[in-house]
Amino acid sequence: MADLIALCDTDAVSEDAALRVEHDGQDYAVYLYEGQYYVTADLCTHGPGYMSEGFIEGCEVECPFHQGKFNFITGAPTSPPCTEALKVWKVTVQSDKVWIDPSSGTVA
């Protein structure tokens, strides 16, 4: 786990709201959906909205800036005006913590 970074405790994340986490100058949004944890970049690709402040419905998060939506599992935009995907990271859960490999970030 030397390459992984711990973002938060699992009990800090709820299904109805994303959690904003800052680590080493990068802002992340951590989600819980159907018992699984997901991590995206917190900043919207369309404007200055933070995904961690957005409305969550199912596996979608609505940006509070222009109300565009993303699938937070894949990062793919699902509603305009957003057209560019969010970066997502592979999540590992160990010892009641949400971990990511910072080099695993991908864009759909």
In a domain, 28, yes or no: yes
CATH number for position 72: 2.102.10.10
Q: How many domains does the chain have?
A: 1
Asked if the bond preceding 102 is cis, omega within 30° of 0, the reply is: no
Per the CB < 8 A criterion, the answer to whether 31 and 61 are in contact is yes
Question: What pLDDT score does 16 carry?
Answer: 92
Task: State how far the alpha carbon of 6 is from the alpha carbons of 2, 30, 54, 65, 80, in Å.
Answer: 10, 11, 23, 28, 33
Checking if the pLDDT of 106 tops 90, the result is: no
Residue 107 lies in a domain: no
pLDDT digits 0-9 by tens, 21-73: 999 999 999 999 999 999 999 999 998 999 999 999 999 999 999 999 999 99
Q: Is there a domain that residue 21 lies in?
A: yes
pTM for the structure as a whole: 0.94
What are the DSSP calls for 68-81, one per residue? Answer: -EEETTT--EEETT
Question: Which pLDDT does position 47 carry in this prediction?
Answer: 87
